[in-house]
Amino acid sequence: MLALAGWRLGLDLRFVDGSAEATTCPFGDVLRGDLRDGEVFEQFLDGVDVVTYESENLDLDLAGRIHERRLLRPGLTALATAQDRAREKAAFEAAGVRVAPWRTAEGADELRAAADALGYPLVVKTRRFGFDGRGVRVVRSAEGLADAARDLGGVPCIVEAFVPFSAEVSLLLARAASGDIVTWPLTQNCHEQGILRWSRAPGAAFAHLEEGARRAGAALAEAMDYCGVLAIEFFVRDGELWGNEMAPRVHNSGHWTQNGASLDQFEAHLRAITDLPLCSPQGREPTTMINLIGRLPGRDDPWLTSSGVHWHLYGKSPRAGRKVGHINVVGDAAHAAEGATPSLVDRIVDAYAPVHARASSVVDG
């Protein structure tokens, strides 16, 4: 999707991917290999002006080597912050973002001490390398804490007081090297088992929170001297925002922008990191993004011919729990009011990204 945006902007692109299942790309050069291999490293950097990444799990030492040779955007500060949940929480607090009370812990004794200080229920997360729910446990008792300690393998963790939230939202912003910032409407999200099922924007029920979210996002981005697209996930509790996590990259909850906004996150990211001017994205009609989890659309699926339905496939083979594409549904008509007959959006969610708690129907609030 970055490649498609770069092609529209007339950029010359190069990608490196060590996966045997790496998606082919007709819009740039694709190197198959590991950047830790010196030959691949040199071949990748040869003639490029700026380097970006699609995962915050990029090895930090390797990122430092790239940074010594080429512009790396977003930079090392953002990457290091996103890779360490304790550092991330501290950055949120420094930017004025409210977060749940938290402690660091390593080993069973420190986990018990943190639980004694915070009380149950609580959330235990590995400090590093968590994604799509991996490395996260909700703990409601001392017995559950012991299970979490065993499951997470004794690695350094953070322990957070559980936030009884009513909704999850995310702010997507793009910041240029000049400091110019543009944002998209606050996006409502639904996760189950740690995997994003759907996102909807604008989240009209949360419009009153947008200005505070923008201020928080701008403060965080400026503190990191950020360049590129940044996603910040929040819980909504008692009508207020509580910071959860950040992602220094284009983000799944921003995929709706491809069809629901005048500027999508992929083009905005490339504009920011290549010093092209940013333009303020204008929202169109309400748009819901539904992840295709574990299965692809069939040619006879009735909604594929519905007005306002746009599907995006990734060229990945389906398997349980794997995101193989997404569908963007644009327009008010596709969203039924709460309590009404299931809408087009709800039917697509049930088919590809089922939410077993049916209270999570795709409606504002």
pLDDT given at position 305 = 85
The DSSP bridge partners found for residue 104 are 158
Distance between alpha carbon 14 and the CA centroid of its chain, in Å?
Answer: 23
The full length of the chain comes to 365
Q: Are 162 and 138 in contact (CB under 8 A)?
A: yes
What is the pLDDT at residue 306? Answer: 87
Residue 362, pLDDT score:
40
Who contacts 178 (Cβ-Cβ below 8 Å, separation ≥6)? 275
Start and end residues for every CATH 3.40.50.20 domain found in the chain: 2-82
* 3-state SS, residue 202: coil
The pLDDT value given to residue 341 = 61
| Domain range 2-82, its CATH number among 3.40.190.10, 3.40.50.20, 3.40.50.300, 3.40.50.880 | 3.40.50.20
131 neighbors 169 (Cβ within 8 angstroms): no
CB 142 within 8 A of CB 118: no
One digit per residue, pLDDT tens: the chain, 365 residues? 999 999 999 999 999 988 767 666 788 888 999 999 999 999 999 999 999 999 999 999 999 999 999 999 999 999 999 999 999 999 999 999 999 999 999 988 999 999 999 999 999 999 987 655 568 999 999 999 999 888 887 799 999 999 999 999 999 999 999 999 999 999 999 999 889 999 999 988 999 999 999 999 999 999 999 999 999 999 999 999 999 999 999 999 999 999 999 999 999 999 999 999 999 998 778 999 999 999 999 888 888 888 899 999 998 889 999 999 999 999 876 665 544 567 889 889 999 999 875 433 343 33
pLDDT for 364 equals 36
Determine the Cα–Cα distance for residues 252 and 244; give it in Å rounded to an integer.
16
**What CATH number should be reported for the domain whose range is 101-161?**
3.30.1490.20
pLDDT score, position 365:
32
Domain at 167-360: CATH architecture? 2-Layer Sandwich (3.30)
pLDDT at 363: 37
Q: In terms of C-beta density within 10 A (0-12 exposed, 13-18 middle, 19 or more buried), how is residue 49 classed? A: exposed
Rounded to whole angstroms, what are the CA distances from 21 to 13, 37, 140?
20, 19, 39
Here the tokens at position 47 are 């003639």
Question: Of 301, 319, 173, which is closest to residue 246 (Cα–Cα)?
Answer: 173
CATH 3.30.470.20 placement within the chain = 167-360
Boundaries of CATH 3.30.1490.20 in the chain? Answer: 101-161
The position carrying tokens 């923008």 is: 214
Instruction: Please give the C-alpha separations between residue 172 and each of 21, 154, 221, 291, 294, in angstroms, as whole numbers.
Output: 29, 34, 11, 18, 26
